[in-house]
């Protein structure tokens, strides 16, 4: 691996690798900034059909300007002929790293992450770009905790060339839609199915389908009924459980119509989760893997207006006030009578 790529990008260290490309942290000597440099591996670099499609799709991906899509800066070839893409570098790691490190996410956090991924997908779908490989490894985390989707161009190029050439199904088996697993034409709702798998993993810490090999897993997406996420994590709200189950419907027509519809349903489910519950049904809020925690809507705050635990109860104070007033009245009245009688006795 050459240290300086295309006389511009100085390789700092590896960031990751996959079946298509290797990713490096590099420093752009021209613009003076760190970038993520994705370089096709030797096998793909020698495939002219794939390289040409990769170049075309890289141009399409570069046109996807959105806050939740990783920006592509440049593309070119290294000295040994390997194609590369220079893109925005995000030091926060991937969503997969976050789940592996911290476990499952709270429903509210998972919903916000899903909204941001949906925003990215909606922007891409409007331009006719389908990702085809939505998974936590392709969702990067920013310093502020927001997320950005990466690899639109490579995912599309890989899927199209492989399907055309060998009729193989490409993608990551654990996250692919039933239609993608069977080699059917992938539409935007296929990306929404994959997002449903990501949500399932965020909420439960587990994948909906597992198997001995990728083919077995892919066929489970096609044939095996889904175990609702709430059966694994009972604290998942009903609305969120129903939405994830809807996203993972075998029939694309049973899923949300598009990314915009999904965003509306996610926000509706989040709002309903946040609504105050009747006192009898209220339970302490819990973290993803911790004890009950306090919330702003606590009983002491309400007690100030309703006689709850947080303030004095007027019904218990009034009788004592009446007794005190009666005693004071008796004393004052007695003193008044004694003063009158004393005045009569004077000569």
Last residue of a domain, one of 274, 290, 312: 274
DSSP 127: T
The predicted structure's pLDDT at residue 202: 98
Shared domain for 179 and 268, answered yes or no, is: yes
The predicted structure's pLDDT at residue 80: 77
The predicted structure's pLDDT at residue 99: 95
Last residue of a domain, one of 225, 256, 274: 274
| Helix 259-274 and helix 188-204, axial crossing angle in degrees, nearest 10 | 30
Supply the range of the domain harboring residue 212: 95-274
CATH code of the domain containing 130: 1.10.510.10
pTM: 0.74
Last residue of a domain, one of 210, 241, 274: 274
The predicted structure's pLDDT at residue 311: 44
Percent of residues, the chain, with pLDDT higher than 90: 52
151 an active-site residue?
A: no
Shared domain for 207 and 162, answered yes or no, is: yes
CATH code of the domain containing 10: 3.30.200.20
With a cut of 50, list the residues of the chain below it in pLDDT: 157-159, 161-170, 278-314, 337, 344-347
- Evaluate whether residue 76 is within a structural domain: yes
Shared domain for 67 and 162, answered yes or no, is: no
Shared domain for 66 and 151, answered yes or no, is: no
The predicted structure's pLDDT at residue 286: 36
- Evaluate whether residue 140 is within a structural domain: yes
Shared domain for 236 and 257, answered yes or no, is: yes
Nearest to 199 by CA among 239, 152, 167, 154: 239
* Distant-in-sequence, close-in-space partners of 120: CB < 8 Å, separation ≥ 6: 66, 68, 69, 148, 149
The predicted structure's pLDDT at residue 303: 33
The predicted structure's pLDDT at residue 290: 35
The predicted structure's pLDDT at residue 16: 86
Number of domains making up the chain: 2
- Evaluate whether residue 240 is within a structural domain: yes
Shared domain for 141 and 243, answered yes or no, is: yes
What Å distances lie between residue 317 and 44, 159, 314, 321, CA to CA? 83, 76, 5, 7
Percent of residues, the chain, with pLDDT higher than 70: 72
The predicted structure's pLDDT at residue 167: 36
Shared domain for 140 and 234, answered yes or no, is: yes
Active-site residue identified among 22, 34, 74, 133: 133
- Evaluate whether residue 223 is within a structural domain: yes
Nearest to 176 by CA among 158, 161, 197, 160: 197
Shared domain for 199 and 55, answered yes or no, is: no
């Amino acid at each position: 691996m050459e240290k300086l790529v295309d006389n511009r990008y100085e390789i700092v260290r590896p960031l990751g690798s996959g079946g298509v490309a290797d990713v490096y942290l590099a420093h752009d000597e021209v613009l003076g900034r760190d970038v993520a440099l994705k370089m096709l591996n030797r096998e793909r670099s020698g495939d002219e059909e794939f390289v040409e499609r990769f170049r075309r799709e890289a141009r399409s991906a570069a046109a996807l300007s959105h806050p939740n899509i990783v920006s592509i800066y440049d593309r070119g070839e290294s000295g040994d002929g390997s194609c590369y893409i220079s893109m925005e570098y995000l030091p926060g790691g991937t969503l997969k790293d976050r789940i592996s490190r911290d476990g499952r996410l709270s429903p509210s956090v998972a919903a916000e992450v899903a909204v941001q991924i949906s925003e990215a997908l909606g922007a891409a779908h409007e331009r006719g770009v389908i990702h085809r490989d939505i998974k936590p490894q392709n969702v990067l985390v920013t310093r502020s905790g927001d997320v950005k989707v990466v690899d639109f161009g490579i995912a599309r190029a890989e899927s199209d060339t492989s399907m055309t050439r060998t009729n193989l199904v490409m993608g990551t088996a654990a996250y692919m839609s039933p239609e993608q697993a069977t080699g059917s034409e992938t539409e935007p709702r296929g990306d929404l199915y994959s997002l449903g798998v990501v949500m399932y993993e965020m909420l439960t810490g587990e994948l909906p389908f597992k198997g001995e090999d990728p083919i077995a897993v892919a066929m489970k997406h096609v044939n095996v009924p889904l175990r609702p996420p709430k059966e694994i994590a009972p604290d998942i709200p009903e609305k969120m459980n129903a939405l994830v189950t809807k996203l993972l419907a075998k029939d694309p027509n049973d899923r949300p119509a598009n990314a915009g519809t999904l965003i509306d349903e996610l926000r509706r489910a989040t709002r309903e989760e946040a609504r105050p519950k009747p006192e009898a049904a209220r339970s302490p809020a819990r973290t993803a893997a911790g004890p009950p925690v306090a919330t702003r809507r606590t009983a002491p705050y309400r007690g100030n207006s309703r006689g709850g635990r947080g303030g004095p109860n007027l019904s218990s104070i009034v009788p004592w006030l009446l007794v005190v007033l009666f005693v004071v009245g008796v004393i004052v009245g007695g003193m008044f009578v004694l003063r009158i009688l004393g005045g009569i006795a004077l000569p």
